[in-house]
Amino acid sequence: MSISPVNDDGYAMVGVTSEVTATIANLGVRDMTSSEGSKLEVTFYTSAPFASELATVNVEKALVIGETIDVSIPFTFIGNDQYRIVAKVDEDKLIAEEEENNNELYKNIYAVSSIDGYVSNISVFAGDGLAGKDHPITFDLGMANLPSEGTYRLHFNVSIDGTFGWGEVLAISMEDMTGFYPIGTGYQVGSCAGKALNGSTLTTRTDCEAVHPPTTQDGVTYETWKSGPYGFIDFNSSYNHQTVVMPWIPNKDRTDTYNISVEVSSVINVDETNDLVYVGITIEKLTTNLVV
């Protein structure tokens, strides 16, 4: 049994579409009949790190004495771990054989990944340091060591923490009756449907919340909804870095020292030490200053 591709050290590669191949041979003393050939099947399993049936392939070939045939299936390793791949031929024993104890073979292989999502270079525009004005937050997102095939999604969220336990997760997207869209630039957002208030109900999600007063169109009243706190970017080997800019207007009635953090996550991520960045800024609330 063989697995390809592998890296220079002979390890399987996480996140890359691989091929598992089992070679089936007729080592008996006669050729298979056409009826036996129609029953020839190979089933693939994993037994570690999880147990799962992967696929059954109907070979549909009557092998003559000494003939071999390669049977392959696609498989993607999903995490850094030790895998055991098992192939079983004629598992249901539909074909009479001289020896039934050599119909199963397994291969152990370790899968590794160097794919890594990261966030870096966070900054916030200080301006005059006054609340009630836009202080855009800028940061870089990326994924390193991506294979040549496929896309890899990186999620992120932005949190803002003040003093005495105050904090919020910054809104990433907005949605109204015309559709949904990012609040900032350089990323994508998921859908979060609206809800008709006059009895005509559209799909809503539990991570949505109303953020604007209802509006009416063609006799139907709608609310505007905010999506959940995560935005995302789909990266590939030729597009692996993006600068994101998020608007942020601090509460005009609040003076505080804020800690702004951005955190990323992805299905494949080998280094968690670069998944979080933060920056601090002190903002003064708007006050009047009348003199004579």
Kindly report the three-state secondary structure assignment for every residue of 178-217. CEEEECCECCECCCCCCCECCCCCCCCCCCCEEEEEEEEE
Least confident piece of the model among 165-174, 232-241, 272-281: 165-174
241 - beta bridge partners?
Answer: 142
How much is the pLDDT for 216? 57
Instruction: Pick the closest to residue 75 from 23, 118, 21 (CA basis).
Output: 21
How much is the pLDDT for 191? 53
Residue 277 pLDDT > 90: yes
pLDDT in tens, 7-54: 888 999 887 789 999 999 999 899 999 999 999 999 999 999 999 999
pTM over the 0.75 mark: no
Q: Give the rounded distance of the alpha carbon of 65 from its chain centre.
A: 48
Classify domain 2-112 by CATH architecture. Answer: Sandwich (2.60)
Confidence of residue 190 (pLDDT cuts 50, 70, 90): low
Q: Is 274 helix (H, G, I), strand (E, B) or coil?
A: helix
Kindly list the domain boundaries of the chain, sorted by start residue: 2-112, 116-283
pLDDT in tens, 192-220: 444 434 434 444 433 344 444 455 555 55
Q: Which two tokens stand for residue 200?
A: 């005509």
Same fold for the pair 2-112 and 116-283:
yes
Q: Can you tell me the mean pLDDT for 156-165?
A: 93
How does the average pLDDT of the chain come out, rounded? 85
Q: Can you tell me the mean pLDDT for 73-100?
A: 90
Per the CATH hierarchy, to which homologous superfamily does domain 116-283 belong? Answer: Immunoglobulins (2.60.40.10)
